[in-house]
Chains A and B, each alone.
Chain A
Amino acid sequence: MITQTAPSTPRASAPSSPVHQRRRRKPSLYRTLSRVLILLIVIVQVYPLAWLFLTSLRTEQDFATGDPFALPSSLTWENYARAFETGDLGRNILNSFIVTMGANILIVLFGMMAAYAIQVLGFRLSRFVRALFLIGIIVPVQIALVPLFIDYSAVNLLDTYQSMIIPLAGFALPMSIYLFSSFFEYIPRETYEAASLDGAGPYRIFGLITLPLSLNTVVTVVLVNSIFIWNDFIFANTFVLSEDLKTIPLGLQNYIGAMGKVDWTATFAAVCVTITPLLLVFLVLNKAMIQGLESGATKG
């Protein structure tokens, strides 16, 4: 059985799926209690989302004058119309997707390869290299801004997708390498030995054994990093100049008016639109993660 050393991942709040029941059984006290507990957890998770969605349907006047947590007195789609008018939401979502996917591909590819080299292949100073990567965790993001900006402008990378993807992937690598290499410890050596005896080289072993086995870790790494990348503001704010490349956090700024007056209801509508794709991705990935957790290498 494979144990996960990954930190518990933030879970998107999924609506409870109806429990599969093959035949009706007498409900025991234990089952009722666990149902109630699950229901409570679901309510706690779903309530903020429901509140967000309801607020996005309230009129501006109603939200401002009434209690922000009250039920809406009337429903309107007008906020959504205004949100799409003021900002370029579709574009922002697409950009966030491109950046998140791009960074995740780099993180998984390089993170896995580095961890494989350090943990499985092993070489002289491999522990030192691993320590070097880990030191990267404590480097604050801000110190890289100005040097990166100057370098980017020298090589004409400013105001491109790459300008966001590269630093996001770079700063996420230490943590990802740590996660991957901790997981690789749990793949039994015998598996590799057997593969070598059958004549597989390191690349083939990596592709045919390590990669399929660590799918659940890949999902975990992607899940953890996606949240950070999806919400990244600082790199996008620094390196992106044109409207066409703005990601969601930058796009949401368009609802700020004069002297800090914020169009809240339009902002809520925009947030509703922008979290939907992320929620869907998480719901899908969550399933994959649980399946990944259940399958191991040497079941015993």
Chain B
Amino acid sequence: MKKLLRAAAVAAVTALALTACGGGGTATDPSNVTPTGEIKPREISWLLSRPADGAVINIMKKLADDYAKDHPGFALNLITTPDRPSYIQKLETLAAANKLPELFDTDATPFAQELAKQGKMVDADKLLKSLDVYDDYRPGALDYQRFDDGSLYMIPFQFELEFIWYNKALFEKAGVSVPKSLDDIPAMCTALRNSGITPIAIDGQDQWPLERYVAYQPFREAGPDFVQKLKKGEASFTDEAGQKTVNWMADLGKAKCFQEGFSAQGYSDAQNQFTSGQAAMYNIGTWELPSLATDKLNPEVRDDVDFFTLPTIEGSVTAANEFVSPSGIGMAVNSKTYDPLVSDFLKFALAKYPAEYAATGALSPTTNVQTAIPANATPLYKKALETATTLGDKQAMPWDTQLDPTTNGRLQQELVLLVQGNISPEQFTKTMDDAIKQNAPKFFK
């Protein structure tokens, strides 16, 4: 029994250590971005959560090797955990043990904001300016990484745009056209269903795709501030914008917009429904350009596929060129281990990265390079890239990066129930407002 009590005590102390200020006085000032002294090459580590064989990792590996040629003894150790929940568990353990590596990935979560408050991350705003690359970055790519107070502690390595891809032949068959307003979509679904076509293919298993939809109406109705207020309990689902989105989601469900059993279908299932010509619409970002806008796409639908950007609504406060444009998980720089070497390597890597990344056919988070269009691309590839040049100032933030984790988990479950018609919009509104009331104050202290 004693042992048990002791274990419980250890757990309690740990929990306290996790929530309390880390207290471990940081050796360096997070705003000091130009450390002076000699560059002493050593091995540095980057804890990341990106695909093991992806462009970011491959390019950074190559750049680190190039840097090591002039700096013998330097090595960049890339530690990747692609699965996000496992990654977060790892990151939080390392942070609690005060063992964060030189570089680490994080979204602009409240947990990351806590680390920034404790002075554990280098101020990226100042860092990028001191390296003279700040102005090269797309404002949208940096804004996506900012905390609510506008401070910037993470550096983006990607830039993506989310479109609604559609199949022209199926639209024609059902006699529908590209929607002018979000409010047209339920009626379109009904028309498509009547022609025996699945209106929208969605990956219900991963939950974030359905959560995108709930963000659309408020973004058009009340602008990007709505979710900022909602997550803190300053706005609620009973507000006009909130009710609009709740009812719209219920309508999407009533009109049977998503494929049968969508909640159990995964990423590949949804994409294949669209690429095999069974579904008329598919909402996904430019990271899928290699599968949707090249000759990899199924020849049967290749000439019929096109995309449109997020429709507006009547009286919309945001413009048609403003939609979801995330810059992915960002990289934070540990202020405790920041020294002339890390600074010099970042200077070297960030200057060379955009050109290398753009050469892979992806959109760079900077505007100083031209994305190479692959040889096997369809005309859509170019059209998608050009959309990036005409973006507006505001962007729709995905809600899963905004809400506290408990509310977010609840929202994902309730959305499925709402769309499937298991609960009424009123029940949904009450449940979600209660969840925010209960969880937000603890989280956004």
Contact = CB atoms under 8 A, between A and B. Distances in A.
B355 to A, nearest CB: 21
B93 A260 contact: no
Interface string B88-117: 011001101101000000000000000000
Contacts of A86: 52-53
A242 B3 contact: no
Given A64-B268, A135-B4, A241 B51 contact: no
Given A146-B14, A158-B99, A260-B203, 15 more contacts: A64-B268, A65-B276, A132-B3, A143-B7, A146-B17, A149-B93, A233-B86, A243-B79, A254-B80, A257-B53, A257-B54, A259-B208, A259-B287, A262-B266, A264-B268
A150 B14 CA distance: 11
6 tightest A-B contacts by CB? A254-B52, A256-B82, A64-B272, A143-B11, A257-B51, A149-B97
Contacts of B272: 64-65
Contact of A146 (B45, B93, B267): B93
B18 interface: yes
Nearest to A138: B4
A139 interface: yes
B10 interface: yes
Contacts of B14: 143, 146-147
A258 interface: yes
Nearest to A88: B52
Contacts of B267: 259-262
Contacts of B1: 135
A126 interface: no
Contact of B54 (A153, A250, A258): A258
B70 interface: no
A196 interface: no
B52 A64 contact: no
A14 B206 CA distance: 35
A242 B79 CA distance: 6
B77 interface: yes
Contact of A242 (B77, B206, B268, B271): B77
A237 interface: yes
A229 B285 CA distance: 39
B83 to A, nearest CB: 5
Contact of A139 (B7, B51, B203): B7
Contacts of A147: 10, 14
Contacts of A259: 206, 208, 267, 285, 287
Contacts of A64: 268-269, 271-272
Given A65-B272, A135-B1, A149 B83 contact: no
Given A146-B96, A259-B267, A253 B276 contact: no
A84 to B, nearest CB: 12
A238 interface: yes
Interface string B34-47: 00000000000101
11 contacts: A86-B52, A86-B53, A149-B99, A158-B99, A233-B86, A234-B89, A250-B81, A257-B53, A258-B54, A259-B267, A261-B268
A30 to B, nearest CB: 44
Contacts of B285: 259
Interface in A235-281: 237-238, 241-243, 250, 253-254, 256-262, 264
Nearest to B82: A256
A139 B4 contact: yes
A22 B99 CA distance: 67
A246 to B, nearest CB: 10
A105 interface: no
B4 A253 contact: no
A145 interface: yes
A135 B7 CA distance: 11
A279 to B, nearest CB: 25
A260 B90 CA distance: 18
A253 B83 contact: yes
Contacts of A234: 89
Nearest to B276: A65
A250 B83 CA distance: 10
Residue with the highest number of chain B CB atoms closer than 10 Å, among A138, A149, A150, A259:
A259
B86 A253 contact: yes
Contact of A256 (B7, B10, B83, B269): B83
A99 B4 CA distance: 27
B79 A153 contact: no
Residue with the highest number of chain B CB atoms closer than 10 Å, among A135, A139, A146, A262:
A146
